[in-house]
Chains A and B, each alone.
Chain A
Amino acid sequence: MSWFSLSTVEFQALTLSLWVAGASVLVSLPIATAVAYVLARCQFWGHSLLNALVHLPLVLPPVVTGYLLLLAFGRHGVFGPVLEILGLQLAFTAAGAALAAAVMAFPLIVRAIRLSIESLDPKLEEAARTLGASPVRLFVFVILPLIFPGILAGAVVGFAKALGEFGATITFVSNIPGETQTIASAIYALLQVPGQEAALGRMIGFSILLSFGALLLSEILARRMVRR
Protein backbone atom coordinates (compact mmCIF):
# COMPACT_ATOMS: atom_id res chain seq x y z
CA MET A 1 0.00 0.00 0.00
CA SER A 2 1.48 3.33 -0.98
CA TRP A 3 1.76 6.40 1.23
CA PHE A 4 -1.17 8.15 -0.34
CA SER A 5 -3.73 5.40 -0.75
CA LEU A 6 -6.31 5.29 1.99
CA SER A 7 -7.58 2.14 3.61
CA THR A 8 -11.35 1.78 3.97
CA VAL A 9 -11.17 2.33 7.70
CA GLU A 10 -9.11 5.50 7.27
CA PHE A 11 -11.52 6.81 4.65
CA GLN A 12 -14.44 6.08 6.94
CA ALA A 13 -12.73 7.92 9.82
CA LEU A 14 -12.20 10.92 7.57
CA THR A 15 -15.79 11.09 6.29
CA LEU A 16 -17.21 10.38 9.73
CA SER A 17 -15.15 13.20 11.23
CA LEU A 18 -16.45 15.62 8.61
CA TRP A 19 -20.01 14.44 9.16
CA VAL A 20 -19.74 14.62 12.94
CA ALA A 21 -18.21 18.11 12.88
CA GLY A 22 -20.71 19.41 10.31
CA ALA A 23 -23.75 17.91 12.02
CA SER A 24 -22.71 19.07 15.47
CA VAL A 25 -22.20 22.65 14.28
CA LEU A 26 -25.50 22.70 12.38
CA VAL A 27 -27.40 21.44 15.41
CA SER A 28 -25.58 23.75 17.83
CA LEU A 29 -25.83 27.00 15.87
CA PRO A 30 -29.53 27.86 16.36
CA ILE A 31 -29.49 26.88 20.02
CA ALA A 32 -26.16 28.64 20.60
CA THR A 33 -27.49 31.80 18.91
CA ALA A 34 -30.58 31.80 21.13
CA VAL A 35 -28.54 31.16 24.28
CA ALA A 36 -25.98 33.81 23.31
CA TYR A 37 -28.79 36.33 22.76
CA VAL A 38 -30.37 35.54 26.11
CA LEU A 39 -27.00 35.79 27.89
CA ALA A 40 -26.08 39.03 26.14
CA ARG A 41 -29.39 40.86 26.36
CA CYS A 42 -31.60 39.48 29.11
CA GLN A 43 -31.26 40.07 32.82
CA PHE A 44 -33.00 37.40 34.86
CA TRP A 45 -32.59 35.29 37.95
CA GLY A 46 -30.23 32.42 37.14
CA HIS A 47 -28.28 34.31 34.50
CA SER A 48 -24.94 33.37 36.08
CA LEU A 49 -26.11 29.81 36.50
CA LEU A 50 -26.97 29.47 32.81
CA ASN A 51 -23.67 31.06 31.90
CA ALA A 52 -21.77 28.59 34.10
CA LEU A 53 -23.73 25.66 32.71
CA VAL A 54 -22.94 26.66 29.13
CA HIS A 55 -19.26 26.93 29.91
CA LEU A 56 -19.08 23.73 31.91
CA PRO A 57 -17.88 21.47 29.04
CA LEU A 58 -15.00 23.90 28.51
CA VAL A 59 -13.61 23.40 32.00
CA LEU A 60 -14.68 19.84 32.88
CA PRO A 61 -12.31 17.03 31.93
CA PRO A 62 -13.74 15.77 28.62
CA VAL A 63 -13.89 12.27 29.94
CA VAL A 64 -16.26 13.49 32.67
CA THR A 65 -18.46 15.18 30.07
CA GLY A 66 -18.51 11.92 28.09
CA TYR A 67 -19.46 9.95 31.18
CA LEU A 68 -22.23 12.43 32.03
CA LEU A 69 -23.53 12.00 28.48
CA LEU A 70 -23.62 8.26 29.05
CA LEU A 71 -25.54 8.79 32.28
CA ALA A 72 -28.01 11.01 30.47
CA PHE A 73 -28.36 9.44 27.03
CA GLY A 74 -27.08 5.90 27.51
CA ARG A 75 -29.49 2.98 27.16
CA HIS A 76 -29.94 2.92 30.94
CA GLY A 77 -29.51 6.66 31.28
CA VAL A 78 -32.02 9.27 32.40
CA PHE A 79 -33.36 9.85 28.88
CA GLY A 80 -32.80 6.24 27.80
CA PRO A 81 -36.49 5.24 27.88
CA VAL A 82 -37.49 8.37 25.94
CA LEU A 83 -34.86 7.70 23.28
CA GLU A 84 -35.99 4.10 23.02
CA ILE A 85 -39.60 5.16 22.37
CA LEU A 86 -38.32 7.50 19.68
CA GLY A 87 -36.23 4.66 18.24
CA LEU A 88 -33.02 6.63 18.71
CA GLN A 89 -29.77 5.28 19.94
CA LEU A 90 -27.00 7.72 20.78
CA ALA A 91 -24.46 5.83 22.87
CA PHE A 92 -21.92 4.03 20.64
CA THR A 93 -23.34 5.53 17.41
CA ALA A 94 -22.22 8.22 14.96
CA ALA A 95 -25.17 10.41 16.03
CA GLY A 96 -23.85 10.14 19.58
CA ALA A 97 -20.41 11.25 18.37
CA ALA A 98 -22.05 14.31 16.86
CA LEU A 99 -23.86 15.00 20.15
CA ALA A 100 -20.62 14.75 22.12
CA ALA A 101 -18.83 17.04 19.69
CA ALA A 102 -21.76 19.50 19.78
CA VAL A 103 -21.72 19.66 23.58
CA MET A 104 -17.97 20.23 23.61
CA ALA A 105 -18.07 22.90 20.88
CA PHE A 106 -21.16 24.64 22.31
CA PRO A 107 -19.41 27.02 24.75
CA LEU A 108 -17.00 28.20 22.07
CA ILE A 109 -19.83 28.88 19.60
CA VAL A 110 -21.88 30.71 22.24
CA ARG A 111 -18.89 32.87 23.19
CA ALA A 112 -18.21 33.96 19.62
CA ILE A 113 -21.85 34.83 18.92
CA ARG A 114 -22.35 36.51 22.29
CA LEU A 115 -19.39 38.79 21.64
CA SER A 116 -20.88 39.97 18.36
CA ILE A 117 -24.30 40.54 19.95
CA GLU A 118 -22.72 42.57 22.75
CA SER A 119 -20.88 44.71 20.22
CA LEU A 120 -24.17 45.53 18.47
CA ASP A 121 -25.32 49.09 18.99
CA PRO A 122 -28.68 48.94 20.83
CA LYS A 123 -29.47 52.32 19.29
CA LEU A 124 -29.93 50.61 15.93
CA GLU A 125 -32.51 48.30 17.46
CA GLU A 126 -34.34 51.27 18.94
CA ALA A 127 -34.42 52.91 15.53
CA ALA A 128 -35.75 49.75 13.91
CA ARG A 129 -38.46 49.44 16.53
CA THR A 130 -39.70 52.97 15.90
CA LEU A 131 -39.90 52.07 12.21
CA GLY A 132 -42.37 49.33 13.10
CA ALA A 133 -40.20 46.24 13.42
CA SER A 134 -41.72 43.64 15.78
CA PRO A 135 -39.28 41.71 18.00
CA VAL A 136 -39.25 38.76 15.56
CA ARG A 137 -38.69 40.94 12.49
CA LEU A 138 -36.09 42.92 14.40
CA PHE A 139 -34.18 39.70 15.04
CA VAL A 140 -34.50 38.36 11.50
CA PHE A 141 -33.88 41.56 9.54
CA VAL A 142 -31.55 43.54 11.80
CA ILE A 143 -29.81 41.49 14.47
CA LEU A 144 -29.20 38.32 12.48
CA PRO A 145 -27.53 39.98 9.48
CA LEU A 146 -25.46 42.22 11.75
CA ILE A 147 -24.14 39.36 13.87
CA PHE A 148 -23.58 37.07 10.89
CA PRO A 149 -19.79 37.46 11.07
CA GLY A 150 -19.96 36.35 14.70
CA ILE A 151 -22.11 33.36 13.82
CA LEU A 152 -19.63 32.47 11.10
CA ALA A 153 -16.72 32.75 13.49
CA GLY A 154 -18.60 30.59 16.00
CA ALA A 155 -19.34 27.99 13.32
CA VAL A 156 -15.70 27.76 12.27
CA VAL A 157 -14.27 27.55 15.76
CA GLY A 158 -16.98 25.03 16.65
CA PHE A 159 -16.23 22.98 13.53
CA ALA A 160 -12.52 22.89 14.39
CA LYS A 161 -13.26 21.95 17.99
CA ALA A 162 -15.69 19.20 16.92
CA LEU A 163 -13.14 17.86 14.44
CA GLY A 164 -10.55 17.44 17.16
CA GLU A 165 -12.86 16.27 19.96
CA PHE A 166 -11.51 13.12 21.54
CA GLY A 167 -12.12 12.62 25.27
CA ALA A 168 -15.87 12.97 25.49
CA THR A 169 -16.37 11.17 22.17
CA ILE A 170 -14.36 8.09 23.02
CA THR A 171 -16.04 7.87 26.42
CA PHE A 172 -19.57 8.26 25.07
CA VAL A 173 -19.40 6.35 21.78
CA SER A 174 -16.16 4.38 22.10
CA ASN A 175 -13.81 3.83 19.15
CA ILE A 176 -15.46 1.46 16.72
CA PRO A 177 -13.73 1.52 13.28
CA GLY A 178 -16.22 2.35 10.53
CA GLU A 179 -18.90 3.35 13.03
CA THR A 180 -17.71 5.80 15.66
CA GLN A 181 -14.01 6.13 14.86
CA THR A 182 -13.17 9.74 13.97
CA ILE A 183 -9.77 11.00 12.83
CA ALA A 184 -8.80 11.79 16.41
CA SER A 185 -9.71 8.39 17.77
CA ALA A 186 -8.15 6.71 14.72
CA ILE A 187 -4.88 8.51 15.48
CA TYR A 188 -5.15 7.34 19.06
CA ALA A 189 -5.74 3.74 17.92
CA LEU A 190 -2.82 3.89 15.50
CA LEU A 191 -0.54 5.14 18.25
CA GLN A 192 -1.26 2.01 20.27
CA VAL A 193 0.29 -0.26 17.61
CA PRO A 194 3.96 0.01 16.45
CA GLY A 195 4.81 0.30 12.74
CA GLN A 196 1.80 2.41 11.67
CA GLU A 197 3.81 5.55 10.82
CA ALA A 198 2.46 5.88 7.24
CA ALA A 199 -1.20 5.65 8.30
CA LEU A 200 -0.50 7.90 11.27
CA GLY A 201 1.13 10.49 9.00
CA ARG A 202 -1.84 10.50 6.65
CA MET A 203 -4.38 10.97 9.44
CA ILE A 204 -2.34 13.74 11.06
CA GLY A 205 -1.97 15.36 7.64
CA PHE A 206 -5.75 15.33 7.15
CA SER A 207 -6.27 16.72 10.60
CA ILE A 208 -3.99 19.67 9.92
CA LEU A 209 -5.38 20.20 6.43
CA LEU A 210 -9.03 20.27 7.57
CA SER A 211 -8.40 22.64 10.49
CA PHE A 212 -6.28 24.93 8.37
CA GLY A 213 -8.84 24.91 5.55
CA ALA A 214 -11.65 25.80 7.94
CA LEU A 215 -9.69 28.77 9.31
CA LEU A 216 -8.80 29.95 5.83
CA LEU A 217 -12.40 29.72 4.65
CA SER A 218 -13.66 31.75 7.61
CA GLU A 219 -11.02 34.40 6.96
CA ILE A 220 -12.09 34.73 3.32
CA LEU A 221 -15.80 34.89 4.22
CA ALA A 222 -15.22 37.41 6.99
CA ARG A 223 -13.21 39.61 4.66
CA ARG A 224 -15.97 39.50 2.08
CA MET A 225 -18.47 40.63 4.72
CA VAL A 226 -16.30 43.53 5.79
CA ARG A 227 -15.72 44.68 2.22
CA ARG A 228 -19.46 45.01 1.72
Chain B
Amino acid sequence: MTVTLDIQMRRHGFSLNAKLNAPAGVSVIFGPSGSGKTTLLRAVAGLDPVDQGHIAIDHVDMAGVAPHRRAVGYVFQEPRLLPHLTVLGNLKFAQKMGRVVAGQSFDDVTDLLELRTLLQRYPVALSGGEAQRVALGRALLSAPKCLCLDEPLSALDHDLKQRILPYLERLRDQTKIPILYVTHDAAEMARLADHIVLMRAGKSVLSGPASEVLADPAAVPFLGIRAAGTVILGCVEPPDPTTGLAVMSFAGGQLILPELVQPVGHKVRIRISAQDIVLATEMPNNLSALNILQGVISDFHHGQGPGVMVQFRVGETLFLARVTQYSAVKMGLVLGQTVFAIVKASAFDPAGIGS
Protein backbone atom coordinates (compact mmCIF):
# COMPACT_ATOMS: atom_id res chain seq x y z
CA MET B 1 0.00 0.00 0.00
CA THR B 2 1.16 3.53 -0.72
CA VAL B 3 0.10 7.12 -0.26
CA THR B 4 0.99 9.55 -3.03
CA LEU B 5 0.08 13.18 -3.11
CA ASP B 6 0.87 16.35 -4.95
CA ILE B 7 -1.23 19.17 -3.56
CA GLN B 8 -1.54 22.90 -3.46
CA MET B 9 -3.70 24.65 -0.92
CA ARG B 10 -4.04 28.14 0.44
CA ARG B 11 -5.58 28.90 3.80
CA HIS B 12 -5.52 32.03 5.97
CA GLY B 13 -2.58 33.45 4.03
CA PHE B 14 -0.59 30.23 4.31
CA SER B 15 0.12 28.25 1.19
CA LEU B 16 1.09 24.61 1.08
CA ASN B 17 2.78 23.02 -1.89
CA ALA B 18 3.72 19.46 -1.13
CA LYS B 19 4.69 16.28 -2.91
CA LEU B 20 4.89 12.97 -1.15
CA ASN B 21 5.28 9.32 -1.98
CA ALA B 22 4.94 7.17 1.10
CA PRO B 23 5.33 3.39 0.76
CA ALA B 24 4.69 0.96 3.62
CA GLY B 25 6.71 1.85 6.69
CA VAL B 26 7.16 5.11 8.54
CA SER B 27 7.53 8.29 6.51
CA VAL B 28 8.52 11.07 8.87
CA ILE B 29 7.43 14.53 7.86
CA PHE B 30 9.92 16.80 9.55
CA GLY B 31 10.09 20.54 9.80
CA PRO B 32 9.82 23.49 12.17
CA SER B 33 6.40 24.48 13.48
CA GLY B 34 4.46 26.42 10.89
CA SER B 35 6.04 24.57 7.98
CA GLY B 36 2.77 22.90 7.01
CA LYS B 37 3.25 19.41 8.43
CA THR B 38 -0.13 19.21 10.16
CA THR B 39 -1.89 20.87 7.22
CA LEU B 40 -0.46 18.13 5.00
CA LEU B 41 -1.74 15.34 7.28
CA ARG B 42 -5.17 16.95 7.59
CA ALA B 43 -5.36 17.10 3.80
CA VAL B 44 -4.58 13.37 3.59
CA ALA B 45 -7.35 12.61 6.09
CA GLY B 46 -9.76 14.93 4.29
CA LEU B 47 -10.23 17.16 7.32
CA ASP B 48 -9.26 20.22 5.28
CA PRO B 49 -10.16 20.65 1.61
CA VAL B 50 -7.41 20.78 -1.00
CA ASP B 51 -7.46 23.47 -3.69
CA GLN B 52 -5.57 21.62 -6.38
CA GLY B 53 -3.67 18.42 -6.98
CA HIS B 54 -4.34 14.83 -6.10
CA ILE B 55 -4.20 12.52 -3.10
CA ALA B 56 -4.20 8.80 -3.73
CA ILE B 57 -4.32 6.13 -1.07
CA ASP B 58 -3.57 2.67 -2.37
CA HIS B 59 -3.90 4.07 -5.93
CA VAL B 60 -7.47 5.26 -5.29
CA ASP B 61 -8.02 8.97 -5.84
CA MET B 62 -9.31 10.55 -2.66
CA ALA B 63 -10.09 14.06 -3.94
CA GLY B 64 -13.46 15.15 -2.61
CA VAL B 65 -13.98 11.96 -0.60
CA ALA B 66 -15.45 12.59 2.87
CA PRO B 67 -13.12 11.87 5.81
CA HIS B 68 -15.20 8.95 7.06
CA ARG B 69 -14.87 7.15 3.72
CA ARG B 70 -11.08 7.52 3.42
CA ALA B 71 -9.99 4.86 5.91
CA VAL B 72 -7.22 7.09 7.21
CA GLY B 73 -6.45 6.41 10.86
CA TYR B 74 -5.46 9.63 12.57
CA VAL B 75 -3.77 10.12 15.92
CA PHE B 76 -3.83 13.74 16.99
CA GLN B 77 -1.50 15.56 19.36
CA GLU B 78 -4.09 15.05 22.08
CA PRO B 79 -5.76 11.64 22.47
CA ARG B 80 -9.30 12.87 21.68
CA LEU B 81 -10.91 9.78 23.21
CA LEU B 82 -14.69 9.77 23.45
CA PRO B 83 -15.31 10.65 27.11
CA HIS B 84 -18.66 8.85 27.39
CA LEU B 85 -17.17 5.49 26.45
CA THR B 86 -14.70 3.24 28.26
CA VAL B 87 -11.43 2.27 26.63
CA LEU B 88 -13.16 -0.87 25.41
CA GLY B 89 -16.03 1.27 24.13
CA ASN B 90 -13.64 3.54 22.27
CA LEU B 91 -11.91 0.58 20.63
CA LYS B 92 -15.21 -1.09 19.72
CA PHE B 93 -16.48 2.20 18.35
CA ALA B 94 -13.55 2.31 15.93
CA GLN B 95 -14.13 -1.30 14.92
CA LYS B 96 -17.81 -0.66 14.33
CA MET B 97 -17.22 2.54 12.33
CA GLY B 98 -14.36 1.13 10.23
CA ARG B 99 -15.49 0.56 6.68
CA VAL B 100 -13.30 -2.42 5.92
CA VAL B 101 -13.88 -5.62 7.82
CA ALA B 102 -10.37 -7.00 7.47
CA GLY B 103 -8.26 -4.97 9.80
CA GLN B 104 -5.99 -5.95 12.62
CA SER B 105 -7.72 -8.15 15.14
CA PHE B 106 -8.80 -6.75 18.47
CA ASP B 107 -6.49 -9.11 20.34
CA ASP B 108 -3.48 -8.22 18.19
CA VAL B 109 -3.93 -4.52 18.83
CA THR B 110 -4.61 -4.79 22.55
CA ASP B 111 -1.54 -7.03 22.89
CA LEU B 112 0.70 -4.81 20.78
CA LEU B 113 -0.16 -1.70 22.80
CA GLU B 114 -0.70 -3.50 26.14
CA LEU B 115 -4.21 -2.18 26.58
CA ARG B 116 -5.77 -5.20 28.28
CA THR B 117 -5.60 -3.83 31.81
CA LEU B 118 -7.12 -0.51 30.73
CA LEU B 119 -10.22 -1.76 28.94
CA GLN B 120 -12.79 -1.03 31.65
CA ARG B 121 -11.52 2.46 32.46
CA TYR B 122 -12.99 5.75 31.28
CA PRO B 123 -10.67 8.20 29.48
CA VAL B 124 -10.59 10.57 32.48
CA ALA B 125 -8.91 7.83 34.51
CA LEU B 126 -6.03 7.36 32.04
CA SER B 127 -2.58 8.94 32.15
CA GLY B 128 -1.36 10.88 29.12
CA GLY B 129 0.70 7.98 27.83
CA GLU B 130 -2.07 5.43 28.36
CA ALA B 131 -4.61 7.65 26.61
CA GLN B 132 -2.30 8.12 23.62
CA ARG B 133 -1.78 4.34 23.39
CA VAL B 134 -5.56 3.89 23.34
CA ALA B 135 -5.84 6.56 20.63
CA LEU B 136 -3.27 4.65 18.60
CA GLY B 137 -5.10 1.35 19.13
CA ARG B 138 -8.38 2.97 18.20
CA ALA B 139 -6.92 4.29 14.94
CA LEU B 140 -5.53 0.83 14.12
CA LEU B 141 -8.87 -0.88 14.78
CA SER B 142 -10.70 1.36 12.32
CA ALA B 143 -9.01 -0.75 9.63
CA PRO B 144 -7.02 2.10 8.10
CA LYS B 145 -5.30 1.97 4.73
CA CYS B 146 -2.94 4.63 5.99
CA LEU B 147 -2.07 5.95 9.43
CA CYS B 148 -1.45 9.64 10.16
CA LEU B 149 0.34 10.37 13.41
CA ASP B 150 0.49 14.09 14.17
CA GLU B 151 3.16 14.59 16.81
CA PRO B 152 1.55 11.89 18.94
CA LEU B 153 4.26 12.18 21.59
CA SER B 154 4.56 15.95 21.77
CA ALA B 155 2.29 16.28 24.79
CA LEU B 156 4.23 13.67 26.76
CA ASP B 157 7.30 14.17 28.92
CA HIS B 158 10.67 12.66 28.08
CA ASP B 159 10.29 9.47 30.12
CA LEU B 160 6.86 8.73 28.70
CA LYS B 161 8.11 9.28 25.17
CA GLN B 162 10.80 6.71 25.79
CA ARG B 163 8.19 4.26 27.01
CA ILE B 164 5.90 4.75 24.01
CA LEU B 165 8.55 4.75 21.27
CA PRO B 166 9.03 0.96 21.47
CA TYR B 167 5.29 0.52 20.80
CA LEU B 168 5.64 2.65 17.69
CA GLU B 169 8.68 0.67 16.59
CA ARG B 170 6.71 -2.54 16.99
CA LEU B 171 3.83 -1.04 15.07
CA ARG B 172 6.20 0.00 12.26
CA ASP B 173 7.64 -3.52 12.05
CA GLN B 174 4.30 -5.32 12.22
CA THR B 175 1.93 -3.40 9.94
CA LYS B 176 2.06 -3.22 6.20
CA ILE B 177 0.39 0.17 5.82
CA PRO B 178 2.07 3.53 5.20
CA ILE B 179 2.48 5.57 8.37
CA LEU B 180 2.83 9.32 7.99
CA TYR B 181 4.53 10.60 11.12
CA VAL B 182 4.75 14.32 11.77
CA THR B 183 7.36 15.53 14.22
CA HIS B 184 9.84 18.29 14.87
CA ASP B 185 11.89 16.09 17.20
CA ALA B 186 15.05 14.87 15.48
CA ALA B 187 15.56 11.97 17.90
CA GLU B 188 12.06 10.64 17.21
CA MET B 189 12.68 10.96 13.49
CA ALA B 190 15.98 9.12 13.70
CA ARG B 191 14.43 6.27 15.65
CA LEU B 192 11.32 5.74 13.58
CA ALA B 193 11.87 6.93 10.03
CA ASP B 194 12.16 4.62 7.04
CA HIS B 195 11.61 7.61 4.78
CA ILE B 196 11.90 11.31 5.43
CA VAL B 197 10.14 14.29 3.92
CA LEU B 198 11.59 17.65 4.92
CA MET B 199 9.17 20.56 5.04
CA ARG B 200 10.04 24.22 5.05
CA ALA B 201 7.64 27.17 4.71
CA GLY B 202 4.81 25.12 3.23
CA LYS B 203 6.97 23.23 0.75
CA SER B 204 8.35 19.72 0.72
CA VAL B 205 11.99 20.43 0.02
CA LEU B 206 13.72 17.06 0.22
CA SER B 207 12.64 13.46 0.55
CA GLY B 208 14.10 9.99 0.39
CA PRO B 209 15.11 6.97 2.47
CA ALA B 210 16.04 7.96 6.04
CA SER B 211 19.64 6.74 5.90
CA GLU B 212 20.29 8.84 2.79
CA VAL B 213 18.46 12.01 3.83
CA LEU B 214 19.99 12.14 7.30
CA ALA B 215 23.49 11.73 5.88
CA ASP B 216 22.89 14.11 2.98
CA PRO B 217 24.92 17.30 3.46
CA ALA B 218 22.31 19.22 1.46
CA ALA B 219 19.71 18.33 4.09
CA VAL B 220 21.71 19.92 6.90
CA PRO B 221 20.17 23.41 6.57
CA PHE B 222 16.71 21.85 6.96
CA LEU B 223 17.57 19.35 9.68
CA GLY B 224 19.67 21.73 11.72
CA ILE B 225 23.21 21.00 12.83
CA ARG B 226 22.11 19.01 15.85
CA ALA B 227 19.74 16.73 13.94
CA ALA B 228 22.13 16.02 11.07
CA GLY B 229 23.91 12.73 11.37
CA THR B 230 23.78 9.10 10.50
CA VAL B 231 21.23 6.45 11.24
CA ILE B 232 22.86 3.06 11.30
CA LEU B 233 20.89 -0.14 11.09
CA GLY B 234 22.73 -3.05 12.57
CA CYS B 235 22.65 -6.19 14.61
CA VAL B 236 23.57 -6.78 18.27
CA GLU B 237 26.74 -8.87 18.66
CA PRO B 238 28.04 -10.60 21.83
CA PRO B 239 29.69 -8.10 24.22
CA ASP B 240 33.38 -7.32 23.80
CA PRO B 241 35.26 -9.96 25.90
CA THR B 242 37.98 -7.61 27.14
CA THR B 243 35.97 -4.46 27.91
CA GLY B 244 32.52 -5.97 28.51
CA LEU B 245 31.04 -3.19 26.38
CA ALA B 246 28.18 -3.79 23.93
CA VAL B 247 28.96 -4.35 20.25
CA MET B 248 26.87 -3.91 17.13
CA SER B 249 27.74 -4.80 13.57
CA PHE B 250 26.60 -2.83 10.52
CA ALA B 251 27.21 -2.77 6.78
CA GLY B 252 30.77 -1.46 6.98
CA GLY B 253 32.11 -2.58 10.33
CA GLN B 254 31.45 -2.72 14.04
CA LEU B 255 30.73 -0.17 16.73
CA ILE B 256 31.34 -0.39 20.47
CA LEU B 257 28.61 1.11 22.64
CA PRO B 258 28.33 1.55 26.40
CA GLU B 259 25.08 -0.39 26.61
CA LEU B 260 22.40 -2.07 24.51
CA VAL B 261 19.14 -3.28 25.95
CA GLN B 262 18.37 -5.43 22.92
CA PRO B 263 19.40 -9.11 23.10
CA VAL B 264 22.23 -10.54 20.99
CA GLY B 265 21.17 -11.15 17.38
CA HIS B 266 18.42 -8.51 17.59
CA LYS B 267 18.12 -5.67 15.11
CA VAL B 268 19.31 -2.32 16.42
CA ARG B 269 19.18 1.18 15.08
CA ILE B 270 21.40 3.98 16.36
CA ARG B 271 22.00 7.57 15.50
CA ILE B 272 25.35 9.32 15.48
CA SER B 273 25.15 13.07 15.38
CA ALA B 274 27.48 14.80 12.91
CA GLN B 275 28.99 16.86 15.70
CA ASP B 276 29.97 13.76 17.71
CA ILE B 277 32.42 12.57 15.07
CA VAL B 278 36.08 13.70 14.95
CA LEU B 279 37.98 13.24 11.68
CA ALA B 280 41.66 12.40 11.19
CA THR B 281 43.67 11.86 8.00
CA GLU B 282 45.94 9.27 9.61
CA MET B 283 45.15 6.29 11.78
CA PRO B 284 45.31 7.68 15.29
CA ASN B 285 46.78 5.54 18.05
CA ASN B 286 46.75 5.55 21.81
CA LEU B 287 43.31 7.19 21.91
CA SER B 288 40.65 7.01 24.61
CA ALA B 289 37.87 6.79 22.01
CA LEU B 290 36.95 3.19 21.23
CA ASN B 291 35.53 3.50 17.74
CA ILE B 292 37.77 4.36 14.81
CA LEU B 293 36.15 3.86 11.41
CA GLN B 294 37.96 4.08 8.10
CA GLY B 295 36.00 5.77 5.29
CA VAL B 296 36.21 7.64 2.01
CA ILE B 297 34.97 11.24 1.62
CA SER B 298 31.98 11.36 -0.72
CA ASP B 299 30.51 14.88 -0.35
CA PHE B 300 30.89 18.30 1.28
CA HIS B 301 28.49 20.98 2.32
CA HIS B 302 29.58 24.50 3.18
CA GLY B 303 27.05 26.30 5.29
CA GLN B 304 26.74 29.94 6.27
CA GLY B 305 28.50 29.35 9.56
CA PRO B 306 32.08 28.39 10.31
CA GLY B 307 31.41 24.66 9.86
CA VAL B 308 31.69 22.19 6.99
CA MET B 309 29.66 19.00 6.75
CA VAL B 310 31.74 16.11 5.46
CA GLN B 311 29.98 13.04 4.16
CA PHE B 312 32.02 9.85 4.04
CA ARG B 313 31.29 6.25 3.26
CA VAL B 314 32.21 3.34 5.50
CA GLY B 315 31.42 0.17 3.59
CA GLU B 316 27.84 0.73 2.43
CA THR B 317 26.94 3.17 5.18
CA LEU B 318 27.01 6.94 4.79
CA PHE B 319 28.26 9.05 7.71
CA LEU B 320 28.22 12.77 8.31
CA ALA B 321 30.83 14.68 10.32
CA ARG B 322 30.91 18.35 11.15
CA VAL B 323 34.31 20.07 11.19
CA THR B 324 35.30 23.72 11.02
CA GLN B 325 36.29 25.35 7.72
CA TYR B 326 39.69 25.96 9.25
CA SER B 327 40.24 22.26 10.03
CA ALA B 328 39.02 21.20 6.60
CA VAL B 329 41.56 23.46 4.92
CA LYS B 330 44.37 22.61 7.31
CA MET B 331 43.80 18.88 6.88
CA GLY B 332 43.44 19.32 3.12
CA LEU B 333 40.21 17.31 2.92
CA VAL B 334 39.19 16.47 -0.65
CA LEU B 335 36.66 14.17 -2.31
CA GLY B 336 37.81 10.56 -2.48
CA GLN B 337 40.25 10.96 0.36
CA THR B 338 40.55 8.29 3.02
CA VAL B 339 39.70 9.53 6.51
CA PHE B 340 39.50 8.02 9.97
CA ALA B 341 36.43 8.83 12.01
CA ILE B 342 36.64 8.80 15.76
CA VAL B 343 33.41 8.19 17.66
CA LYS B 344 33.31 8.18 21.44
CA ALA B 345 31.25 5.29 22.83
CA SER B 346 29.53 7.78 25.14
CA ALA B 347 28.33 9.81 22.13
CA PHE B 348 25.46 7.39 21.63
CA ASP B 349 22.33 8.86 23.07
CA PRO B 350 20.50 6.02 24.80
CA ALA B 351 17.21 7.73 23.85
CA GLY B 352 18.21 7.50 20.20
CA ILE B 353 18.83 3.76 20.25
CA GLY B 354 15.89 1.85 18.89
CA SER B 355 15.12 -1.48 17.38
Contacts and interface: CB of A to CB of B under 8 A. Distances in A.
B84 A145 contact: yes
Given A137-B97, A141-B93, A129 B67 contact: yes
Interface in A87-114: none
B109 to A, nearest CB: 13
Q: For this complex, into which size category does the number of interface residues on chain B fall?
A: 20 to 34
A129 B82 contact: no
15 contacts: A123-B76, A126-B76, A127-B76, A128-B97, A129-B67, A130-B45, A130-B73, A130-B142, A131-B98, A132-B94, A133-B68, A134-B66, A134-B68, A142-B82, A146-B82
Nearest to B98: A132
Contacts of A123: 76, 78, 80
A131 B97 contact: yes
B83 interface: yes
Interface in B101-147: 122, 135, 138-139, 142-143
Interface string B72-90: 1110101010111000000
Interface string A59-92: 0000000000000000000000000000000000
Interface string B58-74: 00000000111111111
Contact of A126 (B80, B83, B143): B80
Interface residues on A, range: 20 to 34
A142 B90 CA distance: 11
A132 to B, nearest CB: 4
Contacts of B139: 130-131
B301 interface: no
A130 B47 contact: yes
A163 B135 CA distance: 46
Interface in A157-195: none
A149 to B, nearest CB: 10
B84 A146 contact: yes
Contacts of A145: 84
A124 interface: yes
Given A121-B80, A126-B80, A130-B142, 14 more contacts: A124-B82, A124-B83, A126-B67, A130-B67, A130-B68, A130-B70, A130-B74, A131-B93, A131-B142, A132-B69, A132-B97, A132-B143, A137-B97, A228-B84
B54 interface: no
Nearest to A125: B80
Interface of A: 121, 123-124, 126-135, 137-138, 141-142, 145-146, 228
Contacts of A137: 97
B74 to A, nearest CB: 4
A45 B139 CA distance: 37
B97 A146 contact: no
Contacts of B73: 130-131
Contacts of B78: 123
Nearest to B143: A132
Closest 8 interchain pairs by CB? Answer: A132-B97, A127-B80, A130-B74, A129-B67, A131-B142, A133-B97, A131-B94, A145-B84
B99 interface: yes
Nearest to A142: B82
A131 B95 CA distance: 8
| Residue of A124, A131, A145 with highest tally of chain B CB at under 10 A | A131
Contacts of A135: 68
Contacts of A142: 82
B138 to A, nearest CB: 7
Contact of B138 (A121, A126, A131, A141): A131
Contacts of A126: 47, 67, 76, 80
Contact of B80 (A124, A132, A133, A228): A124
A146 B94 contact: no
Nearest to A225: B84
Interface string B165-191: 000000000000000000000000000
Contacts of B84: 145-146, 228
B76 A132 contact: no
Contacts of B80: 121, 123-124, 126-127
A132 B142 contact: yes
Contacts of A127: 74, 76, 80, 82, 135
Contacts of A228: 84, 122
